[in-house]
Amino acid sequence: MSRFLLWVDRVLKRNRIQPTLRGPAARKAVLSALLRSCPACGLELDGHRDWRLAAARVGSENEEALADVVGKKRWDLASRIVDWRPDADVIEYHVLDCPVKSRVSLFKAVFTHALYAHDELVSVHEVESADRQKLVALADDKWIDL
């Protein structure tokens, strides 16, 4: 490692600055900050899986439609709504698969686009067994390992 990279590493550690995370590590960091722990087992999110079911911009017509289909447990329709822009606040529904309890939780969060604004966990609840099977099948290979 070059002297420069060693210096950068020391500065980051001294100032407790985390390098920019990407991919599953970034998602795990965001979800850990939002949820703190798994709603089903109460443990950290290591070994759990996440799938973003749907997303809609706050204030858009899709926000109301999404709330309606999720309320009616129309998971297939909900999964088709992906209305996202980097310059807008977004409501996302996520499915969290817990390997410890073999349960699935659904949570709704608002992710803000403003740099120093805080994301907000709106709701979280455990999914019933029949809906769990439907969601796991629908997620198929789209899970992100945390």
Residue 50 in domain: yes
Residue 142 CA to residue 55 CA, distance in Å, equals 15
Residue 120 in domain: yes
What predicted TM-score, i.e. pTM, was given to this entire model? 0.81
Residue 88 CA to residue 18 CA, distance in Å, equals 25
Instruction: Tell me the pLDDT tens digit for each residue of 116-132.
Output: 677 888 999 999 989 99
The residue type at 30: V
Residue 13 in domain: no
Instruction: Tell me the pLDDT tens digit for each residue of 47-90.
Output: 999 999 999 999 999 999 999 999 999 999 999 999 988 888 99
Torsion of the alpha carbons at 106, 111, 117 and 122, rounded to the nearest 10: -30
Q: What is the DSSP letter of 11?
A: H
Residue 95 CA to residue 57 CA, distance in Å, equals 18
Give me the number of domains the chain comprises.
1
Domain extent for 58:
22-145
